[in-house]
């Protein structure tokens, strides 16, 4: 390994460009995750429906999305939707893809949360003559979500780590920016390593944060 494999001055110079692109990465993560969290809850509730015309197709779609690559799904949204007259900017298609893919993971998390609500809560709701909608909204969902927040947090981090896929449809997030820097300067060591280091730091920090939240929740739930 020669001395000039890693050039600190060069790394320092390109860091602002990479950090600028990190904003897109974080934007995509946060918006995508809100989408995943909301859609995931709807999928989980739909899957519990007593109407098999609703629950079976949802179960099938969830399995399908979970078993196929996110990259192909992003291509699908980006290339296929225009055929139906829906032309999305690359970033929007990418965020939709991320959100859709991870909504299936979130739905499994919610499902576990919903399943853990004791029978008595349902029976009490019947005793109060609450409608199904009210029961879910006021009784079941508020109890089911707090315990699964850490699991959702893990998928937030997982989704964050999948955002480099958006580079495949030319969204200029961190990875794509690093590639552009590389192709301009023929130096790949610094941009790629910086991107790796930023991912590592951010995901380790988030994991610590999630563990904190988990401990806090446990204390709160245990009373």
Binding site for another protein (CB under 8 A): 1, 5, 64, 66-73, 75-76, 79-80, 83, 161-165, 167-168, 175, 178-179, 182, 188-189, 192-193, 195-196, 199-200, 203-204, 207
Q: Which is nearer to another protein, 188 or 216 (CB)?
A: 188
Taking every pair of Cα atoms in the chain, the longest distance, rounded to a whole number of angstroms, is 76
CB atoms under 10 Å from CB of 96, counted, come to 19
Q: Which is nearer to another protein, 56 or 79 (CB)?
A: 79
Structure tokens of 91? 């970033």
In the chain, the N- to C-terminal Cα span, in Å, equals 57
CB of 71 vs another protein, minimal distance in Å: 4
CB of 80 vs another protein, minimal distance in Å: 5
Q: Which is nearer to another protein, 55 or 154 (CB)?
A: 154
CB of 173 vs another protein, minimal distance in Å: 11
CB of 142 vs another protein, minimal distance in Å: 29
Cα–Cα separations (whole angstroms), residue 160 to 5, 27, 69, 85, 102: 29, 10, 16, 30, 11
Q: Which is nearer to another protein, 47 or 101 (CB)?
A: 101
| Nearest by Cα to 170 from 98, 100, 91, 97 | 91
Q: Which helix (H) or strand (E) holds 142?
A: helix 141-162
């Amino acid at each position: 390994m020669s001395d000039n494999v890693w050039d600190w001055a060069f790394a320092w110079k390109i860091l602002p460009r990479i950090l600028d692109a990190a904003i897109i990465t974080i934007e995509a993560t946060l918006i995508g995750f809100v989408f995943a969290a909301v859609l995931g809850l709807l999928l989980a509730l739909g899957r519990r429906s007593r109407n098999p015309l609703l629950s079976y197709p949802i179960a099938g779609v969830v399995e399908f999305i979970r078993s196929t690559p996110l990259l192909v799904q992003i291509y699908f949204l980006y290339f296929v939707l225009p055929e139906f007259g829906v032309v999305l900017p690359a970033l929007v298609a990418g965020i939709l893809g991320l959100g859709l893919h991870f909504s299936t993971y979130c739905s499994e998390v919610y499902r576990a949360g919903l399943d853990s609500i004791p029978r008595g809560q349902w029976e009490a709701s019947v005793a109060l003559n609450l409608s199904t909608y009210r029961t879910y909204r006021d009784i079941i969902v508020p109890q089911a979500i707090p315990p699964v927040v850490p699991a959702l947090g893990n998928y937030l981090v997982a989704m964050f780590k999948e955002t480099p896929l958006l580079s495949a449809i030319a969204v200029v997030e961190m990875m794509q920016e690093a590639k552009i820097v590389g192709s301009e300067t023929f130096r790949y060591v610094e941009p790629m390593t910086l991107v790796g280091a930023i991912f590592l730091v951010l995901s380790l920090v988030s994991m610590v944060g999630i563990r904190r939240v988990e401990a806090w929740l446990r204390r709160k739930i245990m009373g």
